[in-house]
């Protein structure tokens, strides 16, 4: 009888850890989706409210730099699909996207530094290319 108590306790702990891990995974996915949506809104319409909304999302939860850049890249691709210039030029063309990032960067400097830093790293990648 005494042999089963530690085993049962271990099983309960393992199940609790698995449930907690699943919960954290769902929270992380929901946060990444919110972050992606905010980045997409910022790219499509870099208003002060959209920039500050992204700023708040990036401040409230911890996310790695690589994850930020991956989400931003995905948001850029989505924005490409959603908006084509009247001239037929797609957003992913370097001059248009760089101009858009310059607009966002200028507006973000008025806001806070997190979004500005994120956009600044993207701008430096255009200058290297």
Q: What is the pLDDT along the chain (129 residues), one digit of tens a residue?
A: 577 888 889 999 999 999 999 999 898 888 888 888 888 888 878 777 888 888 888 887 777 777 887 888 788 777 776 666 555 555 555 666 677 777 777 776 666 667 777 777 777 777 665
**Is residue 81 within 8 Å of 21, Cβ to Cβ?**
no
**Is residue 51 within 8 Å of 104, Cβ to Cβ?**
yes
pTM > 0.85: yes or no: no
- The pair of three-digit structure tokens given for residue 87, joined into one six-digit string: 């001239």
**Is residue 115 within 8 Å of 42, Cβ to Cβ?**
yes
Scan for tokens 């690589």, then name that residue: 66
CA–CA gap between residue 94 and residue 72 (Å, rounded): 16
**Is residue 27 within 8 Å of 63, Cβ to Cβ?**
no
């Amino acid at each position: 009888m005494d042999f089963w108590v530690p085993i049962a306790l271990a099983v309960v702990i393992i199940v609790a850890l698995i449930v907690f891990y699943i919960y954290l995974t769902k929270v992380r996915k929901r946060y990444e989706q919110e972050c992606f949506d905010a980045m997409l809104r910022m790219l499509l319409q870099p208003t002060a409210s959209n920039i500050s909304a992204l700023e708040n999302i990036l401040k409230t939860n911890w996310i790695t730099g690589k994850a930020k850049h991956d989400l931003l890249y995905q948001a850029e691709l989505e924005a490409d699909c959603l908006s084509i210039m009247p001239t037929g030029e797609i957003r992913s063309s370097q001059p248009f996207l760089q101009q858009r990032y310059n607009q966002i960067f200028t507006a973000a400097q008025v806001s806070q530094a997190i979004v500005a830093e994120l956009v600044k790293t993207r701008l430096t990648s255009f200058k290297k290319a």
